Amino acid sequence: MDNGDYMKLEFLGHSCFMIYADKKIIIDPFLSGNPSASKKMEEIKDVDMVLVTHGHGDHLGDAIEIAKMNNSVLVAMYEIVNYAKTKGVEKVEPMNIGGTIDVMGIKVTMTNATHSSDFEGGVGHASGFIVNVGDHVVYHAGDTGVFYDMKLIGEIYRPDISILPIGSRFTMGIREAAKAVDLLRSEYTIPMHYGTYPAVDQDPYEFEKAVGERSKVIILRPGESVSF
């Protein structure tokens, strides 16, 4: 791969990932109050874009503070963006499920997630994201159960990297996430949303075993990253 294809994915714990490419993109920055966070909110610098899948505290997290501190663009569901504006976020890109927007040359699509969403003074719907970075297509599923339209997501967007929750209780567990892998057909799969609390304790190596040869499972500990 040449430099134009360079992409690094860093796992910051729970569902938070940083994408390093031409632009720096952080997804679901739950750092304050996150026992597994590898960085403090104050250490998040020069972020171009903040993506939020839904309003729950373990996803919206520090998004508003980080967007304000870095003057980054906040990309989220319409209702969350409106809330963020009342909290002083100036650069926003509201969207909704099925839509695709271009943010500083990066194509971002919002996908469905079968999950709830609420935040201080509002409700909305949970979502996931497809992010096009160079030659790579990253699918961050957000919080969700498995749903058959993941096949459609696989067919339309052809993500080569899928980031899926495996923690069970609040999202899919290992059995369902392994089925999601079949529907999405990504070359690489990265598990998330496990091990943060006892309530979502799952063994990622069991997930790797369940997936078998169908996708390369990349297990990242908070603070670790992988380049593509």
The residues that touch Mn ion, with contacts defined as CB under 5 A, are: 58, 143
Nearest approach, Cβ of residue 59 and Ni ion (Å): 6
Taking the least distance from each CB to Mn ion, the nearer of 169 and 216 is: 169
Residue 23 touches which member of Ni ion, Mn ion, none, C-beta under 5-8 Å by kind: none
Question: How far is 47 from 206, CA to CA, in rounded Å?
Answer: 34
> How would DSSP label each residue in 42-110?
GG--S-SEEE---SSHHHHTTHHHHHHHHTPEEEEEHHHHHHHHHTT--SEEEE-TT-EEEETTEEEEE
If the CB atoms of residues 65 and 143 are measured against Ni ion, the closer one turns out to be: 143
Say which entry of Mn ion, Ni ion, none residue 48 contacts (CB below 5 to 8 A, set by partner kind): none
Q: Which run of H or of E encompasses 174? A: helix 174-184
CA 67 to chain centre: 16
CB of 106 to Ni ion, least distance (A): 24
Q: Which is nearer to Ni ion, 14 or 56 (CB)?
A: 56
Pair of tokens at residue 148: 């058959």
For Ni ion, give the closer residue by CB, 126 or 211: 126
**Nearer CB in complex with Ni ion: 79/143:** 143
d(CA 175, CA 211): 9
CA 11 to chain centre: 10
In the complex, the smallest distance separating the C-beta of residue 56 from Ni ion, rounded to whole angstroms, is 4
Query: How far apart are CB 213 and Ni ion at their closest, in Å?
Result: 31
Give the nearest distance from C-beta 143 to Ni ion in angstroms: 4
**Binding region for Ni ion (CB under 5 A):** 56, 143
